[in-house]
A and B are shown apart, each in its own frame.
Chain A
Amino acid sequence: MKKLLAAILLCFATGAAAQLSIEITGAGSQRIPIAIAPFAGEGALAQSLTAIVRADLERSGLFRGLEVPVLNPAPTEASNVNYAEWRARLADALVLGSVAARPDGRFEVRFKLFDTVKAADLSGVAYTLSRDQMRATAHRIADFIYEKLTGEKGVFSTRIAYVVKRGPKYELQIADADGAGEQALLVSFEPIISPAWSPDGKKLAYVSFQQKKPIVYIQDIELGKQNVVANFKGSNSAPAWAPDGSRLAVSLSREGGSQIFLVNPDGSNLRRLSQSAGIDTEPVFSPDGNHLYFTSDRGGSPQIYRMPAGGGEAQRVTFEGGYNVSPRLSPDGKLLAYIARNGGKFQVAVLDLATRQMQILTDSDKDESPSFAPNGRMILLATVNSGRGVLAAVSADGRIKQRLTLSAGDVREPAWGPFIK
């Protein structure tokens, strides 16, 4: 309940800009209790920096934000920390900081993270920011804290892409990982599917039906320029970037059937990779770039296969069940997430490629389009709730669950963007 409140408060705190709100529906069993004291002087900012940091950390399902009483004078990163006092408040970690206005109209934020159990200063950072970099700075602070305390990189500064259907319109949107700052990249009366981030996070490949058939485009996010990658006779679909961004795998029907081809981002150097009499689609590169995983019905039912990225013989990867589609590799290449039909329900499954252990992660029944966070912790997915398309996220171990809701419209086709360098 507290989580839910935090999510709602976050919505209010961020005002009308936040269209997508995130609600935690299941959290990790061992959450780190953390006290984030409101930064001294943060009242000068339009919204509370520490509220955003806390909401970020809580949304991860790995932290429990503690209520911090109003302290006078407000402690700062330079204060002497009374560890016993914070331990008495049951905090394992403490964040103290301050915000100062600079003569040039910008702000300086300084903060420090403390381990109250070990009575240790875990260091901190100072950022200079303009007014409109407030949210981005809060996410960077949350990323810093997350990495220090969990040992893995935070994804609070990353972005997600998804498609919203509002009435007759399809909108390809990009938002911050917390759902704030939604912006439309492409608006069309025809469907848009399968957005795929370039590895540098600067472009999106996607399939648009704007010419009455599926055509693969790449759009530069900043410049808004749309380029055709594959527009051949028949259908052109399912773009996936190679990890180095030098080429894409796509599924084309130009030679009959849906087969996997490689193509450069500018549409040049097309070459066919798969050779089957059936359907081969939904290619995705392994993180090392050496293999392609894809969906094929060559064995009689749609299953996931793997083949060398240079072409060659394919091996079947999934065996359980009669419908396994939409493969996605975890960033470390160890887990395969996909959609499995399980007793008539379409659910997110994860296969440990080393142990062959398979686990169904969700209890919904119309899941689609799984997408790993760049740190591999969460999997974003599309599902249907009360007849409406919504996004949800589940941790790769199935413990943490989130639901992302948009004020209006059907949401589908999520894709989690890469780390921002």
Chain B
Amino acid sequence: MHAIWIALVSAGLAACSSAPSQEQSPAGVEERKPGDASGAQTQPVKPGAIARVDLTGKPQAKSPLTDPGNILSRRSIFYDYDNYEVKDHYRDLVEAHARYLRDNPRSKMLIQGNTDERGSREYNVSLGQRRSEGVKRMLLLLGAKEEQVESVSLGEEKPRAEGQNEQAWSQNRRSDILYQGEY
């Protein structure tokens, strides 16, 4: 089974046919062009030969990254206002992702930091960056490799929840974890 996970991840997870999980940032999905990170390999075909596509085989095993029963499907860390401290109750989540990166050294991750809409857009880019970098630093301390993780910021530009109240804002102060193929 383990080999399958590695194969899936290194293929960019594109073989995974399940719908994107709720926790996944919309930013990573809505703009994906057809063909992006498809992971599909084309085979040269001899003249006259017929290339066969068989879709009747066994359904592919679910990735732990998107299995709702697996902690790895949890991808978001929420913050207090103007704060980038990762709260204690996210420790299991961060540790699980660090373990995954350690066990899958070819896997790559993008962490997107987000903020609520209040204040300066540019300061919020920096604040979101601080948030994603904080998560990255924890992952590195837990054994992930520098080249596996990039932390970036979307600032206040990609709110998950529209609305000008604390309920929406608390949803938007967030770091999202995306694996290669999901962004």
Query: What is the interface of chain B mostly: helix, strand, loop, or mixed?
Result: mixed
Shortest CB distance B53–A (Å):
31
Is A214 on the interface with B (CB-CB < 8 A)?
yes
**Chain A contacts of B129 at CB under 8 A?**
234-235, 253, 257-258, 279
Quick check: B155 and A214 within 8 Å, CB to CB?
A: yes
Q: What is the chain A residue whose CB lies nearest that of B157?
A: A191
Shortest CB distance A355–B (Å):
25
Which of the segments B3-11, B72-80, B98-106, B118-126 contacts the partner chain? B118-126
Is B150 on the interface with A (CB-CB < 8 A)?
yes
Is A50 on the interface with B (CB-CB < 8 A)?
no
**Chain B contacts of A413 at CB under 8 A?**
121
A282 to B183, CA, bound (A): 27
Is B66 on the interface with A (CB-CB < 8 A)?
no
Quick check: A282 and B133 within 8 Å, CB to CB?
A: no
A212 to B36, CA, bound (A): 14
Quick check: A193 and B121 within 8 Å, CB to CB?
A: yes
Quick check: A209 and B157 within 8 Å, CB to CB?
A: yes
Kindly count the residue-residue contacts between A and B in the assembled complex, taking CB atoms under 8 Å apart: 111
Is B130 on the interface with A (CB-CB < 8 A)?
yes
Digitize A200-241: 1 where CB-to-B-CB distance is under 8 Å, 0 elsewhere: 000000010100111000000000000000000111011000
**Chain A contacts of B31 at CB under 8 A?**
189-190, 212
Shortest CB distance A299–B (Å):
14
A366 to B164, CA, bound (A): 11
Is B177 on the interface with A (CB-CB < 8 A)?
no
**Chain A contacts of B150 at CB under 8 A?**
233-234
Shortest CB distance B126–A (Å):
4
Is B65 on the interface with A (CB-CB < 8 A)?
no
**Chain B contacts of A168 at CB under 8 A?**
30
A238 to B7, CA, bound (A): 40
Is B27 on the interface with A (CB-CB < 8 A)?
yes
Q: If A233-B150, A234-B129, A279-B127 touch, does A212 touch B121 (CB 8 Å cutoff)?
A: no
**Chain B contacts of A251 at CB under 8 A?**
122, 125-126
Q: If A234-B151, A235-B129, A253-B129 touch, does A212 touch B122 (CB 8 Å cutoff)?
A: no
Quick check: B153 and A253 within 8 Å, CB to CB?
A: yes
Q: What is the chain B residue whose CB lies nearest that of A346?
A: B119
Quick check: A323 and B119 within 8 Å, CB to CB?
A: yes
Quick check: B154 and A326 within 8 Å, CB to CB?
A: no
Is A403 on the interface with B (CB-CB < 8 A)?
no
Tell me which of B30, B123, B133, B183 contacts A302 (CB under 8 A): B123
Is A295 on the interface with B (CB-CB < 8 A)?
yes
Is B158 on the interface with A (CB-CB < 8 A)?
yes
Is B152 on the interface with A (CB-CB < 8 A)?
yes
**Chain B contacts of A237 at CB under 8 A?**
122, 125-126, 153
**Chain B contacts of A282 at CB under 8 A?**
120, 122-123
A257 to B27, CA, bound (A): 23
A413 to B31, CA, bound (A): 23
Is A60 on the interface with B (CB-CB < 8 A)?
no
Is A194 on the interface with B (CB-CB < 8 A)?
yes
Is A343 on the interface with B (CB-CB < 8 A)?
no
Quick check: A257 and B133 within 8 Å, CB to CB?
A: yes
Q: Tell me the B99-155 residues at the A interface (CB within 8 Å).
A: 110, 112, 118-123, 125-130, 133, 150-155
**Chain A contacts of B127 at CB under 8 A?**
279
Is B39 on the interface with A (CB-CB < 8 A)?
no
A256 to B183, CA, bound (A): 22
Q: Tell me the A404-421 residues at the B interface (CB within 8 Å).
A: 412-413
Binding site for B on A (CB under 8 A): 168, 189-191, 193-194, 207, 209, 212-214, 233-235, 237-238, 251, 253, 256-258, 279-282, 295, 302, 323, 325-326, 339, 341, 346, 366, 368-369, 387, 412-413
Closest 9 CB pairs of A and B: A258-B126, A191-B157, A213-B152, A325-B120, A279-B126, A235-B153, A281-B126, A238-B122, A235-B129
Known A-B contacts: A194-B122, A235-B126, A280-B126. Give 13 more (CB < 8 A): A193-B121, A193-B125, A209-B157, A209-B158, A235-B152, A251-B122, A251-B125, A253-B151, A258-B125, A281-B122, A323-B119, A339-B119, A369-B120
